[in-house]
Amino acid sequence: MASVGIKLHLLAAIALFLGGCSDHRESAQISSMELTYWPAPNPEEIRLADTLVGVWNRLHPDIRVRMQPIPVSQSTEEVLLAAIAGKTTPDVCSNILPGAMLEYTSAGGLIALDEFSDFDSVALGRTPKDVLETFRSGDHYFQIPWKTNPVMMFYNLRLLEEAGITKLPKTYGEYLAAARTVTRDTNGDGQTDIWMGERDIRPIWWQRLFDFFPFYIAASGGKTLFENGSVAFVNKSSEEVFQFFQDCYRNGYFPHTYFQGGDPFLLEKKASHISGPWEVATLRKFAPQMRYDIVPVPVPDDYRGPVYTFGNFKNIAIFSTTRHPREAWEFVKFLITAEHDLLLLEICNQLPIRGDLTANPLFGDYFRRNPKMTTFARQAAFTREMDAAPDLKEIFDAISQEYEECCVYGKTPPAEAIRAAAQRTQLIVNWNK
Amino acid sequence: MIRKFLHKFRASDRNSYWFISPYVIFFLAFTAYPLIFSFILMFHRWNIVSPMEWVGLKNFERLVLDSLFLKSLGNTVMFLLIHIPLQIVVALGFALLLHSRVRFRGLFRALYFLPVVVSGVVVTILWQQLYSYDYGVLNSVLSSLGLPRMPWLVDASFAMPSIALMATWKNVGIYIILFLVGLQDIPSELYEAAAIDGASRSKQFFRITLPMLNPTMIVIMVLSTIGGFSLFIEPYVMTGGGPMQSTLSGMLYIYNQAFYFNHMGYAATLGFALALVILAVVVIQRKVIEKDSVA
């Protein structure tokens, strides 16, 4: 009897064990079909990601996506590199800076998207071939182009009109001439109250993506820092850009200090502002009364031809830590459908990298309602991206240091500053060979 | 062979090895291992994320051509040239005051030592507020006296002296204590004999006090030099190395290379070079001071 009891207990234990195993396996299968998606941590993109992930999860209950904004840090690139090092990367991220691609791929952090059989049809169905080509890393594509934010010049029309300026400045000469009357002390206390422009004077590398770099691309007719792998920015165009900013600071059109207590453009304390399409939504929200217009960044007086600028592209990639590459790719394709590109426009005011952006009737209504965004959409065809060079952060830091010394403090002539920046860039490039 | 070794490793010795083991483990983990690893790193390129890549002497080649490293060393020397004399004069002055029969001597000693025990970051943030061009207390005082505002941290020629002044305030307490110890070691008979011979107070100071404090001076100069070359928190928090890299110290440059640009191998090479520079400066300093004291 006792032995029967023991056997029964044993049987029950085995049944429980197997049952437990079976349950566990089942739940593991369910949880293993979860993808993690990191969007950029700004409120608009979080809202977009929330919406898209909600739709996806309703349509695909078997492949659930968990949205988690990129942890806030000094830069997304630092977070992603740390995540690659710690093998804590998400499955999909939609805030990939093409300039940082080399670091990600050399660390083996990303999977090649062109290994999916339908990559060509998906990518070329959305993005023109020549644009897509600029995102190739060696023999593969590790990113799919997603959005662009062309950097342009915003002008406060009221401040210009008060100074008697009716034509928006489009060249350095026009800008500096306007600055002479726009920059003024309105209450007679001896302090300037209205500035022509303002930039963060700290030598932070990415700040140059919103002054020197777009201005250089514009002044040079679409050139970037490198040509065939060699440093190529020692020329008249880069010197003219440094000279222009030096003039702005030296003549007091730009302040040598930080503004305390808010964004000076929103507060209508400065007449011009270098920014991207996201600024339109910011202005609508925080300064609805402001009258403004958007034009390409100023160019040298003798410049002729289309005005290019920095495209500020952000792309989507799948990380090599993913256990479900096929499902992750399906999710990426879902993010870039025409309908979801329209949501990107509607919610974030950012431009999808599409060949048919201005021609597709799906987007027509949006651009009719948001005529300011049409300016950016037109500019999108004339954009350039950061070079695919190693150590871009340090290269831009080197340029920043010279920018500070030459433009902000006027201690070195532009030609000398550009030569010094190029020399240090060459040192960095040689060290990386 | 092993048996022989184990035989030597007697039971009584074994206990002593247990006692020293915490230090040995700590030393191996936090001194020996990082040193060896840094040495290996000097011949590699490594960004923490990717595998280490052997580059031979490439990091040293870059070091030779790196004008920014030279600039950071120049900035550090500039800091030392202001900081060390200022530190010695101020510390000696306060030590002399505290050595005399002043009331509340214990309280003053504690007060002067207080900045030493306060966190460096806290002190730095506090001084950053004091130095603020627009809202700082120092400029408010200057303005109220009808004097122009000073660009303490925003002008390349002012920033490093401002940092040196702050570092002196922060560290002076420890050097006051060292000078006090030195002063207490001077036999009072020397002063009595000098007084009988009619030596004035100033003569007693220059002929007795200063020469007798020479060993203390050597210690303070060596400590200040090594401490000065480690200048990091102050420029990191207050200026980030600017304006125009005028406060970029050697340590800050190494930190930037390691943790801002992820160049671990090159940062290790810079660290090695900086250690050599410190060693050379300290050796020269000692030789000069010892030669002077013998003369």
CB nearest to B49's CB, from A84, A202, A409: A84
- Among chain A residues, the shortest Cα distance to B60 is held by A431
Q: Kindly write down the DSSP assignment for every residue of A372-397, as one continuous string.
A: HHHHHHHHGGGEE-----TTHHHHHH
Instruction: Round the average pLDDT of chain B to a whole number and report it.
Output: 89
Q: Give the pLDDT confidence score for residue B17 in this predicted structure.
A: 84
With an 8 Å Cβ cutoff, are B50 and A106 in contact? yes
Specify the higher pLDDT residue, B136 or B58.
Answer: B58
Would you state the pLDDT for residue B155?
A: 87
Q: In chain B, helix, strand, coil percent, each to 5?
A: 75, 0, 20
pLDDT at B70: 94
Residues of A in contact with B65 (CB under 8 A): 427
Enumerate the residues of chain B whose CB falls inside 8 A of the CB of residue A257: 133-134, 154
Q: What is the DSSP string of A107-118?
A: TT-B--GGGSTT
Contact list in A for residue B154 (CB cut-off 8 A) is 256-257
Cα nearest neighbour of A81 on chain B: B49
Average pLDDT value over all residues in chain A: 89
ipTM reported for the complex surpasses 0.90? no
Q: Which of B65, B244, B261 sits opposite A405 (nearest CB)?
A: B244
Q: Are A33-142+314-352 and A152-310+387-432 the same fold in CATH?
A: yes
Q: What is the pLDDT of residues A129-153, one digit of tens each?
A: 888 888 988 889 999 999 999 999 9
Instruction: Label residue A18 by pLDDT band (50, 70, 90).
Output: very low
Q: Is it the case that residue A375 has pLDDT exceeding 60?
A: yes
Q: What is the pLDDT of residues A174-229, one digit of tens each?
A: 999 999 999 999 888 777 889 999 998 888 888 999 999 999 999 999 999 999 88
What's the rounded mean pLDDT across residues A222-238? 93
Q: Which residues of A touch B66 (CB under 8 A)?
A: 427
Q: What local confidence, expressed as pLDDT, does residue A432 receive?
A: 84
Give the domain ranges of chain A. 33-142+314-352, 152-310+387-432
Percent of the residues in chain B that have a pLDDT greater than 70, as a whole number: 94
Closest chain A residue to B261, measured at CA: A394
Strand order in the sheet with A144-148: A64-67, A34-38, A92-96, A314-318, A144-148, A351-352
Task: Please give the interface size between A and B, counted as residue pairs whose CB atoms are below 8 Å apart.
Answer: 53
Which domains, and CATH codes, for chain B? 1-30 (no CATH), 65-294 (1.10.3720.10)
Mean pLDDT of the B17-32 span: 92
Mean pLDDT of A55-77: 89
Percent of chain A with pLDDT over 90: 68
pLDDT tens by residue, A270-289: 999 999 998 998 898 899 99
pLDDT at residue A298, rounded to an integer: 98
Higher pLDDT, A313 or B289: A313
State residue A29's pLDDT score.
46
B50, B58, B261: residue with CB nearest A393: B261
Of all residues in chain B, the one with the smallest CA distance to A407 is B244
Contact B158, B166 (CB under 8 A): no
- The contacts of residue B56 (CB under 8 Å, 6+ apart) are B43
Greater model confidence, B293 or B162: B162
Closest A-chain CA to B266: A431
Over residues B232-261, the mean pLDDT reads 92
Q: Does residue B207 register a pLDDT over 60? A: yes
A203/B contact by beta carbon, under 8 A: yes
Question: What residue of B is the nearest CA neighbor of A75?
Answer: B260
What percentage of chain B carries pLDDT values higher than 90? 55
pLDDT at res. B151: 87
Q: How many helices (H) and strands (E) does chain B have?
A: 16, 2
Cα–Cα nearest to B159, from B231, B230, B224, B92: B231
Segment B69-78, tens digit of pLDDT: 999 999 999 9
Q: Tell me, what's the pLDDT at A20?
A: 45
Residue in B58, B67, B243 nearest the CB of A409:
B243
Burial letters for A126-154: b for 16+ Cβ neighbours within 10 Å, e otherwise? bbeeebbeebebeeebbbbbbbbbbbbbb
> Is B262's Cβ below 8 Å from some Cβ in A?
yes
* A366 and chain B in contact, CB less than 8 A: no
Instruction: Calculate the alpha carbon distances from A269 to A18, A178, A280 in Å.
Output: 72, 15, 18
What is the fold, at CATH topology level, of the domain defined by A33-142+314-352? D-Maltodextrin-Binding Protein; domain 2 (3.40.190)
Residue by residue, DSSP assigns A170-189 as -BHHHHHHHHHHHSB-SSSS
SS3 A265: coil
- Quick check: A243 pLDDT over 70? yes
3-state secondary structure of B101: coil
Give residue B193's pLDDT band: very low, low, confident or very high (50, 70, 90).
Answer: very high
Chain A residue closest in CA terms to B259: A78
CATH among 3.40.50.720, 3.40.190.10, 3.40.50.300, 3.40.50.2300 for A152-310+387-432: 3.40.190.10
Contact A257 B134 (CB under 8 A): yes
Report how far residue B135's alpha carbon sits from residue B121's, in angstroms, rounded to the nearest whole number: 20
pLDDT of the residue at A152: 97
Residues from chain B that touch A74, judged by Cβ atoms under 8 A, are none
Of A108, A203, A391, which has the smallest distance from its Cβ to B261's Cβ?
Answer: A391
Task: Write out chain A residues lying below 8 Å of B128, CB-based.
Answer: none
B47 CB neighbours in chain A (<8 A) are 81, 103, 107
* The pLDDT of residue B287: 82
For B62, the closest of A107, A108, A431 (CB atoms) is A431
A416 touches chain B (CB under 8 A): no
